[in-house]
Amino acid sequence: MNYKNLKIILPLLVAIGLVGVGGIFLGQTFTSNPVSETPGLHAIHVGFVTSSGACKNGDEACLTGIVAKSHNVYTNLGKNATRDYLFHSGANLVNAFNVISVGQINVSQTATDRCLANNTGAGSYCQDWYGNGLTSIAGTVADVVSGGGIDFGNVSISKTFTCTLCVSTVINATGLYNKTFAADALGNPAATDLMLFAEANFTAATLQTNDQINVTWFIWTN
């Protein structure tokens, strides 16, 4: 991997903020006392991510293919954002969650993460790639219709990344954010005011210069 030409995102400083592993569970099961009950694992939102793997620049057949498909980890911040959007009009509302990042991780993902591989909490480094065409960026959002041509709230968010300078650069993870990463006053990549809604990992793709990879998030509201 070309660590010289690709920067790793610096630590997230503020705790604000779906592709591959784990399900999205928003449902709760209540019996008598809703306050004291433990949330149940009844999925009412389920998401997954697909990856094309490494493709040569302009190889549309490759980019539209799927070599990896996985469920996501739904973060605590993402759960709170969903709650606020749906049930707290005007409270803690944030930008749309349409920004996709890619990166390399070698650790388990957890609901407390605020960026890729940030499972150790505040002060740990993010593993989202930054620079050389792999910086997080807003994807194309599209409604996903059922077989009968009727849309019931499902959506996809898709982005093709082109690595402008890669030497065996590994991508095996993605995150879904509400903002892009930016540089701080010292010119270092920073992420102090964005939210990681969900994250996932998938079969690793190794990119060389000008290689491309498509990552698509699918979010079902059923």
**Is the pLDDT reported for residue 75 higher than 70?**
yes
What is the per-residue pLDDT for 130? 85
Q: What is the pLDDT of residues 170-184, one digit of tens each?
A: 999 999 999 887 666
Band (185; pLDDT cuts 50, 70, 90)? low
Domains of the chain, residue spans = 7-21+44-220
pLDDT for res 217? 92
pTM of the model: 0.75
Name the residue with higher pLDDT: 89 or 197: 197
**CA–CA dist 213, 173 (Å, integer):** 12
pLDDT computed for residue 90 by the predictor: 65
SS3 label, residue 217: strand
Of 9, 8, 6, the closest CA to residue 17 belongs to: 9
Q: Average pLDDT, stretch 33-59?
A: 66
Q: What is the mean pLDDT of residues 145-152?
A: 71
- Report the SS3 class of residue 132: coil
Query: How confident is residue 37, by pLDDT bands cut at 50, 70 and 90?
Result: very low
